Structure formats: C-alpha cells, structure tokens
Structure 1
Amino acid sequence: MGKKITLSVIKADIGGFVGHSNVHPECLETAGGILAGSPLLIDYHVTHVGDDINLIMTHELGKNSGEIHELAWNTFLSCTAVAKKLKLYGAGQDLLADSFSGNVKGMGPGVAEMEFEERTSEPVIVYMADKTEPGAWNYPIYKMFADPFNTIGLIIDPKMHGGFLFEVRDLIDNKKVTFSCPEEIYDMLVFIGAPGRYCIKSVYQKGTNEIAATSSTQRLNLMAGRYVGKDDPVLIVRCQSGFPAVGEALEPFANPHMVSGWMRGSHSGPLMPVSVNTSSPTRFDGPPRVVALGFQLADGKLHGPQDFFADVSYDLARQKANEIANYIRSMGPFEPHRLHLDEMEYTTMPDVSKRLKDRFEKVE
C-alpha cells in the first residue's frame, strides 16, 4: 500500500467585490500567504468563482482533519478582516459561528474532500459554482457516471461497464441512501430529479469502492435558519482509467441546465460554464456560473491548473445560457423563474403571509 493523499476543497464567501460579483485581489493574496506558510500542506491553489474564495489543498491528514479545517477557517477569518477593512459587501457572510469548533462542516463553508492512493496517472477536475446550490451537481454527475450518451466509456471501457455506486443525501431529513447503477437508475432519478432536497454526495467505483467523485452538500440557509445566500458548491471528479475521461467529465456542461439560485438565491437560471477570468456574475447577479480547473496530481503536488471552460468549444454553451437567461428573466417575479414557495421561506414571503392572513376569507 502506498501513502494516501487527501484532496480538500473548502470554499466560503467572505465578502463580495463589488456587490456579489467578485473577490478582491487582497483577499486572494491574504489566503495564499497563509496557506503558503502552513507546514500541514503538500500543495495548495487559491482561486475564486464569482464572490467565493476556493482553497484547493493536498495533505496526508485524511478527511475531516481538524487541523486542515482550522487552517481553512483561520484563512477565511483573515480574509474577512480584509473584507471588513475594505467595506466589502456581506463581509464574513458564510462564517456562521464565532469560533472554530473542530470541523467547518455546519459552520458555513462548503467542503468536498476525498482520500485516495494516487494511480500511475491521477488527473482530477475541481468544479466550483457560484449563485447556486449543491443540487446543481445532480444532473452533470448523473451524465458523467450513468449516461452512455454522455460517457461512451460506460459501454466500451471494461473497467466502467459494470457501473457506479451513487450516495444520495436527503438534506432535509439528514439521511443517505446508496443506489447501484445502472440497475437502479430509475429509482435514483425519482430522488435526484428533486435537487433542492436530494443531492448526490459521492460516487464510487463498483467492486473496488474506490472514490470517483465527491461534492459539498452544505446548505447555508438550513444551517443558519435565515437567508444568508446560496451555497455555491464545489465538486471533485477523478478522471481516466476506470473513471470518466476528462472530456466525458466536462461534456455535461456543454448543455446549460437550469439550477436554483441566481438573484437573492430565489430564482431559476442556466448554469453557464466560464473561465475563472469571466466568472463574475453581473447580470441580475448572474446567471449562475461554473468553473472547471484540471490538475495532474503527482506525489500530492497540484500540477496546473488547466482552466477547461476557457476553451472556445464552450462558446455556444455560453450563448445558449444567455438566451435562456433572456427568456427566463422575462418572467420576472413569476414561477418558474422565481423559485417555488417551498424555497422562499427565508425571504419576505412568511412576513407578508402573516400580515395578510386575516384578510383571506373562506370561499363558500
């Protein structure tokens, strides 16, 4: 057995520049300086999508390491101090606690981590989204690991032909269930087709139980009990040699699917694949964005990134996303552009309902 590497991606919105559109360069410099000085890490990369800072870190301390989580927490605290100094919007909004309590899960930041033994070649993709929620990954993960029209490897690669195991989380009741695909695809789709509640947490290779993909499933509003913004989730996918090829893992985003989030976290819109440099959502604070950074892992070192969605082959996807955004925006405050009432519980909706409840008369 070789040594295991842990890849941790931890993100937080600690203040937007300007509004909810971007991260101030001084915040990114602060984060990079702190991670550079840590003896805990093998390697790291600091980046952003929209107004979220993303810390991509490799180490040998395993998942849920208190030391790594505390490092991330202290990094976000330092960035928050910079944000407050610059009077950035929503400074520290994702930090729901006053002090670190051993693990950042449940404290605001989004977390995706996986531990594995490096293969002869270890390509990974880190996906980062802004202005949406964890359920945004359901459609692309399904396409990557269960749809042969997207991933031809499911048919022609003997290592993939048996399918994959999908761990699905119920974010409301805090339960999980594992589906074996392809034979349980129809059962799984009943649940993952409702991404506001059911999210694919992880995917495993059948037979070996080797981790193939994992996502962040933190829902800020459920943790805070009030509206504090969308969750802006992250996803890690390992590629090649029994997993989807890099191109198969990227392919789902060539057709922008509808996700929840966008303006005030209360609207549906297309998920637009973009480069880091064009990841600032400005139109109606959107439309929602996704960035894909590729790394070649070697002894824990992150060689990269390759900014995959900077490729011109995603120009049509962006055009389509803009056309969808144009259409759905014309619906204004009407569903399905505005989210269903169940998703509006952290807005003015409860206050208005309470104020007007006596004016509702029974219909004879």
Structure 2
Amino acid sequence: MKITLSVIKADIGGFVGHSDSHPECLCEADNKLAKAKQNDLIIDYHVTKCGDDLQLIMTHQKGENNTDIHEMAWNTFVSCTEVAKRLKLYGAGQDLLADAFSGNIKGMGPGAAEMEFEERISEPVVIFMADKTSSGAWNMPLYKMFADPFNTIGLVIAENMHQGFKFEVHDVKDSKKIIFSTPEEIYDMLVFIGAPNRYPVKAVYTRNGEIAASSSTQKLAFIAGRYVGKDDPVCIVRCQGAFPAVGEVLEPFATPYLVEGWMRGSHWGPIMPTGVADSLPTRFDGPPRVIAQGFQLSQGKLVGPRDFFADVSYDQAREMANKMAYMMRQHGPFEPHRLPLDEMEYTTMPQVSRKLAERFKPL
C-alpha cells in the first residue's frame, strides 16, 4: 500500500508570548482534520504542538505536494489564526506570509516535510519537530543517524545498511541541490552540511533510492525578506529494516548541540530534547526545543504516538543543555552567543548600519 506521510507546521500565535500553543487552537485544528478525514481527503491524522508551533501530521494517498492536501492545511492554519486573533495571542498568523492559497503551501510560510513510500510489513516512523531554531538544525543528527558508525552500529554490522546512504543537500541561497553518497563522499559532504544555515539536508535515501528521511528546508526570512520568526523545522525518519533502528535514530539527541535561533532568532543555543508537555521555551524564549513522536503505520493509520523524549534517559541531555544555555547566555550581545553579522541581515542590523554609515571614516 503506497502511503504519503505529510507533516505541515505553522506558528499561528503564541500563548503566552512565544512559549506555547493555546488548547483552543489545537482543538480547532483537530476539528478541521477530523472533517478532512470524514470526507476521505486524508486517511488519518494527529495534531500536536512544539512550543508555539502547530503541527499537522497526516497520512493520505495523494502524493507529495498535493494541492488539495496543502490547501486543507493552509485553510486549517487560517481558521486557527482566527482563533488566535480572538484570544489576542502573540504573533497571530505570523507564519502565513501570503494573502491566499496559491497551489502549494511551500513558499507561503508554513514548513512541510513529506514522503511517499510503499508501506512495509512493519513501518515505524519518528517525526521530529523543533521550536526556536532554523531549517538545517537536522544536519548533525541526520549525519549521525545515517553516516556515523559511532552512533549507528547498523552501518557496520547490518548487511542491508553496510553500503551506506545518499544525502540530498540544498543550497537555499542559490536554489540548487546536490546528492552525496556516503561513506565515500563524507568529507566532501561535511564541507557543506557543516554550514546548515545555507546547506540543509533535505532528504536521505538508501543506495537504491528508497526514501529514508525528509525535512523541511523553508527559510521564513528568505520568503519574507525580513525577520518574522524562526523556521522551526520538522523532519520525518523511517526506522528499522534497511534503515537505522529507532534507538539509533533517537541517539543523536542524547548529546545537545548548538543551533541558531533562540531569542529573536539571533543567537546560538543548545537544542533540548523534551516531551511534548515540556516543549515550552521560556528562558530567554528558549533554549530551543525538539520533540520526537513515534508511530507505527498500519494501512495508513497512525498507531501512536510514543512521546520518545519524555523518557527519563534524556534527563542528562536536558541538564547538559541547561548548563550550555547558562554558559552561552553569559556572552549577552557578544559573539559567539549572538549570530555573526552576515547572518543578522534580517534583523535590525542593516538599519543600524545604514544609519551610521556616514559616521565611519577612512583610517
């Protein structure tokens, strides 16, 4: 049975500030998707949140980039924005950068990760969702999952993984893409994906072309031409069999790593794995959060979720992230806590530079 798994998210208003999603917005989204399921547009769905981002997880048989699915998601976000406006939530509708739907949700503000595949006898998937960070935040964990034998022992001892994987990497500034084969092109690939702001990993495939992972690479600042909030990306990863085991897919998040985002999208900070209930970025609007929801697919039905990062085995990761957050915060407006100037072009920095331009004199 060929299934499409679509994860589409948007920040349609924060409760309170940028810290959480209001229950009424979640309820409105659930009502809209229940109606879509009743009308046979989708097979199944799950509505959740990560911080102030509304997450729509859907299965259907209409393929990727389907107009009907994307329009339904857009209309759901519009309806939830009306709820957010009524409740005077902060930044109501901030990710909806277009006035009306125009055929595909990509390029309109919301983030989307999708994949189409033939459902296996057992089809476990993990869906990662983040808040207060940018597209490209999945580069390091995806590398560890699919190319690092110190993380994924299956690359060494599992015959069906030993040949490696292919990584689709996007250049989001010049709108180009490239495919790297691992392990033989690891060093070349790291030159690029080590700069996740420009070169996010869009997808990972087996060597015979079967989809293994898909992420959202939309950059709000590039779409809007100004800072309107962080991208807060999503990522889908298939597990077991020819893919890494569930535990190998989750393992990269046991060690916090630095991502760009946090307060006003202008700082480096540690990404903290939490359960859904704790995905509440509050300290300096952070630190950035990541949740992991696990499902078994059965004829397109979403059996789950398992709230993986609610597990106590990630307590040390959260403690480490808090210690890293304290260290980074001591730098205040100084780098390396604040992003470098060339990545601050969508903040107030350009206006300040123009205002003071004539006061700079030659040495």
Quick one: distance in 1 between partners of 2:291 and 2:261? 16
- Please list, as runs of the form range in 1=range in 2, the aligned pairs for 1:21-170 lying within 5 A after superposition: 21-38=19-36, 39=39, 40-170=41-171
Instruction: Write the deviation string for residues 299-344 of structure 1: whole angstroms up to 9, x where unpaired.
Output: 0000000000000000000000000000000000001100011111
Quick one: distance in 1 between partners of 2:155 and 2:359? 58
Give the AA of the match of 2:310. Answer: A
CA RMSD, aligned part only?
A: 0.5
Secondary structure of 1:53's match? strand
Secondary structure of 2:63's match? coil
Offset of residue 20 of structure 1: 0.2
Secondary structure of 1:172's match? coil
Quick one: distance in 2 between partners of 1:357 and 1:34? 51
Q: In the alignment, which residue of structure 2 is the partner of 1:280?
A: 280
Secondary structure of 2:115's match? strand
Secondary structure of 2:352's match? helix
Offset of residue 26 of structure 1: 0.2
Offset of residue 357 of structure 1: 0.9
Q: TM-score by structure 1 length?
A: 0.98
Q: In the alignment, which residue of structure 2 is the partner of 1:298?
A: 298
Q: In the alignment, which residue of structure 2 is the partner of 1:330?
A: 330
Quick one: distance in 2 between partners of 1:76 and 1:288? 23
Offset of residue 118 of structure 1: 0.5
Divergent runs of 4+, >6 A: none
Quick one: distance in 2 between partners of 1:351 and 1:137? 31
Q: What 5-or-longer segments of structure 1 have no aligned partner?
A: none
After superposing the two structures, state which structure 1 stretch, 308-317 or 353-362, moved more.
Answer: 353-362
Instruction: Write the deviation string for residues 21-54 of structure 1: whole angstroms up to 9, x where unpaired.
Output: 0000000000000100112010000000000000
Quick one: distance in 2 between partners of 1:195 and 1:269? 14
Quick one: distance in 2 between partners of 1:28 and 1:348? 33
Instruction: Write the deviation string for residues 144-192 of structure 1: whole angstroms up to 9, x where unpaired.
Output: 0000000000001000000000000001001000000000000000000
Secondary structure of 2:137's match? helix
Instruction: Write the deviation string for residues 63-83 of structure 1: whole angstroms up to 9, x where unpaired.
Output: 000000000000000000000
Secondary structure of 2:85's match? helix
Quick one: distance in 1 between partners of 2:347 and 2:188? 33
Instruction: Write the deviation string for residues 110-168 of structure 1: whole angstroms up to 9, x where unpaired.
Output: 00000000111000000000000111100000000000000000001000000000000
- Please list, as runs of the form range in 1=range in 2, the aligned pairs for 1:9-24 lying within 5 A after superposition: 9-24=7-22
Quick one: distance in 2 between partners of 1:126 and 1:286? 21
- Give me the identity figure in percent: 71
Q: In the alignment, which residue of structure 1 is the partner of 2:5?
A: 7
Offset of residue 358 of structure 1: 1.0
Quick one: distance in 2 between partners of 1:23 and 1:188? 37
Instruction: Write the deviation string for residues 227-269 of structure 1: whole angstroms up to 9, x where unpaired.
Output: 1000000000000001000000000000000000000000000
Quick one: distance in 2 between partners of 1:316 and 1:46? 28
Q: In the alignment, which residue of structure 2 is the partner of 1:255?
A: 255
Quick one: distance in 2 between partners of 1:48 and 1:362? 52
Quick one: distance in 1 between partners of 2:336 and 2:173? 22
Secondary structure of 1:198's match? coil
- What is the aligned residue count? 360
Quick one: distance in 1 between partners of 2:121 and 2:113? 23
Offset of residue 347 of structure 1: 1.3
Quick one: distance in 2 between partners of 1:45 and 1:342? 39
